């Protein structure tokens, strides 16, 4: 399937929005307010400094803890898509910290062991698609890699790790940069037993346009990226570009699977590509959802079995 075959408009009502808009952006039970909102004279949404603390106990790692701010609505009414955390982001965050023996995570851990230990690769780059204003998953990816067994081994590694958080809205990016800057001291530096660095950057990325950010990249993450035919087309384009430019990239997406754009456009389009492998599974593990719900209240769908985990990679990869 070519990208031109995708429809670019949706006329049918999608109940996803009724659910998502009602439930997204709730804080965890451990959240507390640190500050107040602020704005400048520029014509953009308020840049929020009210901070919510998100904490997740991590097997085999110190607890993951960050203080993050959503993007306040402009004029108290409207805010861009991605201004706050959705449940899918919390679910992806919890998944990144699963142990190697978790059935859905075996492929991820095999990939990380192989690539983090590679002597050929000069830098290990992680790209997050659709990071939004808060940046929870991108920060979690860095924390997961910081304490990955391959990195914390006695010999250590000298190759740096780069985490690239992306979005296509300037107000969202402005808030995202503030969140990364606020948490950088806690998440950037690696333990003294290792020598590699973890560097974070926030970048503008338009899925329809070529970008130097798409290569070289080794690992790509994203959550709830597709919710109608238009976003399915854009996501299909950027995923195909990533596969074509990075033959050894692993793409990991968590998505509400009953969205028409996902089920009838994005997944079939990838499955028709000769060089692409798509492995999709239902992500119904109650313990995983319990951990995610400790960060953000369950939402986006009425049934946890509607969430799917999708790996996408080049058919020449073996791990």
The answer to whether position 214 is within a domain reads yes
pLDDT band at 78 (very low <50, low <70, confident <90, very high): low
- Number of domains observed in the structure of the chain: 1
The answer to whether position 296 is within a domain reads yes
Q: Which domain holds residue 93?
A: 3-314
Please say whether the beta carbons of 193 and 242 come within 8 A: no
- The single-letter DSSP state of residue 150 is T
- The single-letter DSSP state of residue 21 is H
The answer to whether position 43 is within a domain reads yes
| Mean residue pLDDT across the chain | 83
The answer to whether position 264 is within a domain reads yes
The answer to whether position 125 is within a domain reads yes
The answer to whether position 319 is within a domain reads no
Q: Tens of pLDDT along 187-234?
A: 765 555 554 578 999 999 999 999 999 999 999 999 999 989 999 999
Whole-number pLDDT of residue 196: 59
Q: Tens of pLDDT along 4-53?
A: 566 444 444 444 444 444 444 333 334 444 544 444 434 444 556 689 99
Q: How far apart are CA 64 and CA 57, in angstroms?
A: 6
CATH number of 166's domain: 3.40.50.150
Please say whether the beta carbons of 129 and 166 come within 8 A: yes
The answer to whether position 94 is within a domain reads yes
Alpha helices per DSSP H over the chain? 15-23, 87-96, 106-116, 136-146, 170-187, 229-245, 260-261, 267-271, 286-293
The answer to whether position 211 is within a domain reads yes
Q: Tens of pLDDT along 161-190?
A: 999 999 999 999 999 999 999 999 877 655
Please tell me the pTM assigned to this model: 0.85
Q: Tens of pLDDT along 269-310?
A: 999 999 999 999 999 999 999 999 999 999 878 788 899 999
């Amino acid at each position: 399937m070519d990208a031109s075959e995708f429809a670019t408009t949706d006329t049918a009502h999608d109940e996803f929005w009724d659910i998502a808009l009602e439930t997204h952006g709730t804080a965890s039970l451990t959240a507390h307010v640190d500050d107040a909102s602020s704005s400048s004279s520029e014509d953009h949404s308020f840049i929020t400094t009210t901070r919510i603390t998100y904490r997740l106990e991590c097997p085999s790692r110190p607890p993951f803890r960050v203080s993050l701010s959503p993007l306040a609505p402009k004029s108290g009414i409207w805010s861009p898509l991605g201004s706050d955390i959705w449940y899918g982001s919390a679910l992806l965050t919890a998944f990144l910290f699963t142990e190697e023996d978790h059935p859905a995570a075996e492929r991820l851990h095999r990939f990380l062991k192989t690539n983090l230990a590679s002597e050929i690769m000069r830098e290990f780059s992680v790209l997050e698609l659709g990071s939004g204003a808060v940046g929870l998953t991108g920060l979690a990816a860095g924390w997961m890699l910081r304490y990955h067994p391959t990195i914390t081994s006695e010999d250590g590694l000298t190759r740096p790790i780069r985490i690239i958080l992306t979005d296509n809205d300037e107000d969202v990016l402005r808030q995202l940069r503030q969140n990364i800057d606020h948490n950088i001291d806690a998440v950037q530096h690696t333990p003294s037993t290792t020598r590699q660095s973890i560097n974070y950057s926030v970048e503008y990325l338009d899925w329809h346009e070529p970008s130097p950010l798409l290569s070289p990249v080794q690992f790509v993450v994203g959550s709830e990226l597709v919710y109608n035919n238009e976003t399915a087309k854009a996501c299909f384009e950027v995923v195909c570009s990533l596969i074509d430019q990075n033959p050894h990239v692993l793409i990991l997406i968590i998505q509400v699977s009953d969205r028409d754009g996902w089920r009838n456009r994005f997944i079939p389009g990838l499955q028709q590509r000769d060089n692409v492998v798509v492995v999709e599974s239902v992500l119904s593990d109650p313990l995983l959802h319990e951990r995610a719900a400790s960060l953000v209240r369950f939402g986006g769908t009425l049934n946890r079995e509607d969430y799917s985990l999708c790996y996408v990679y080049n058919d020449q990869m073996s791990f």
